[in-house]
Amino acid sequence: MSALPKVPTRLRRVAVPVVWFLVVVVVLAPLTQTDEARNLGIPAVVNRAQLRILTTIAMFVVMASAWNIIGGLAGYASFGNVGFFGLGAYTTAMLVDRDRGGLPFAIGLLAAPILPMLFAAGIGSVLLRLRGHYFAIATLGTSIALGEVIKNIDFFGGSTGLFPPILPKADLVFFYLMLAVAALAIVSNWLILRSRFGYGLIAIRENEHAAEVIGIDTTRYKVRAFVTAAALTGLAGGVFAQWTSFVSQDNVFPISYNVEMILMAIIGGAGTVFGPVIGAVGLEALIQVLAGGGSAAAATQVGLGVLLAITVVFLPRGVIDFFGGRSKLSLRAIRASLRETSA
């Protein structure tokens, strides 16, 4: 894992404008769907299905970036972040549900991060004392148990789930909403990496005892990182709840989301600002291209599993590392990394 790598100037001169251009295109293209654009004679360049894919990609950018704060920076591999997503989704769904909260979506969305943050603070102060495997499995178990308990309580919709009302013009609204949350997640990472807080987290990742010795309140830092990740993930859950108009345990507590967010962060480059973004965009685009119904979905999962295994073995520092000075995409670099870790 590395801090933000320095991109060589020659590559930077070409890559940065291209990336910005693509970002602007993706941000503006969906506007061609509106009635105004149609009246002006501008053809729609993205259809609704593509818009949904873009929204999903933005959602995973949020989740991978949020995971990066606790997993990539602090080095605590949380397998329970999907619990925050589910809590946020259920909060919004309960508040906007006609028979329960009956509140407008804006309020439901603003409330979405609150419960995840409280939950993260509560379980964080206990679970963040565990290290390594213990932390990973304890967080995994907590999120599974949370989903199971919610499913068993009829007030929360039971096994049927909740159905938030469908909003007009939903696709476009939710795309920009999710994009805004994604931007918030990226900016949060960027700010944290440049702050005392961020340096503290990296110190914890590299050597927790040493970090404590130099005066970092490690427990407080870790809990803060966990709570920040929970807030962002919960917000994405809130948007998701209203967007899909269907919230159930299977839908908003899937362990596969948690695996995907970790995979994205690792493949892109955990501990960096843009690594998780690159990973999320690349991997989710790949999944969407490959995914079909039925057996194609299973084949996709096989591919994902193999991809995960290969990445872990051959590219432990992620794709973004190859754009930096640290290692190059060469057999020699891979062999050197394998020598460090192999039996």
- The residues binding other proteins (CB under 8 A) are 75, 77, 126-127, 130, 132-134, 136-138, 140-142, 144-145, 148-149, 151-152, 259, 262-263, 266, 295, 298-299, 301-302, 304-309, 312-313, 316, 338, 340-343
What's the min distance (Å) between Cβ of 164 and other proteins? 24
Nearer to other proteins by Cβ, of 195 and 256: the residue is: 256
What's the min distance (Å) between Cβ of 150 and other proteins? 10
Euclidean distance between CA atoms 28 and 26, whole angstroms = 6
One-letter amino acid at 32 equals T
- Beta-carbon contacts of 172 under 8 Å, excluding residues fewer than 6 positions away, are 30, 31, 33, 34, 51
Convert 172-198 to b/e letters by CB count within 10 Å (16 or more is b).
ebbbebbbebbebbbebbeebbeeebb
Nearer to other proteins by Cβ, of 101 and 158: the residue is: 158
Which token pair is 160?
Answer: 């049927």
Kindly list the distances between the CA atom of residue 23 and the CA atoms of 10, 28, 60, 107, 116, in Å, as whole numbers in the listed order. 21, 9, 16, 29, 30
Nearer to other proteins by Cβ, of 29 and 308: the residue is: 308
What's the min distance (Å) between Cβ of 309 and other proteins? 4
139 touches 79 (CB < 8 A): yes
Nearer to other proteins by Cβ, of 118 and 149: the residue is: 149
Q: Is 227 helix (H, G, I), strand (E, B) or coil?
A: helix
What's the min distance (Å) between Cβ of 63 and other proteins? 16
Nearer to other proteins by Cβ, of 104 and 132: the residue is: 132
What's the min distance (Å) between Cβ of 329 and other proteins? 18
What's the min distance (Å) between Cβ of 255 and other proteins? 8
Euclidean distance between CA atoms 322 and 55, whole angstroms = 28
Nearer to other proteins by Cβ, of 54 and 140: the residue is: 140
Which token pair is 2?
Answer: 């590395």
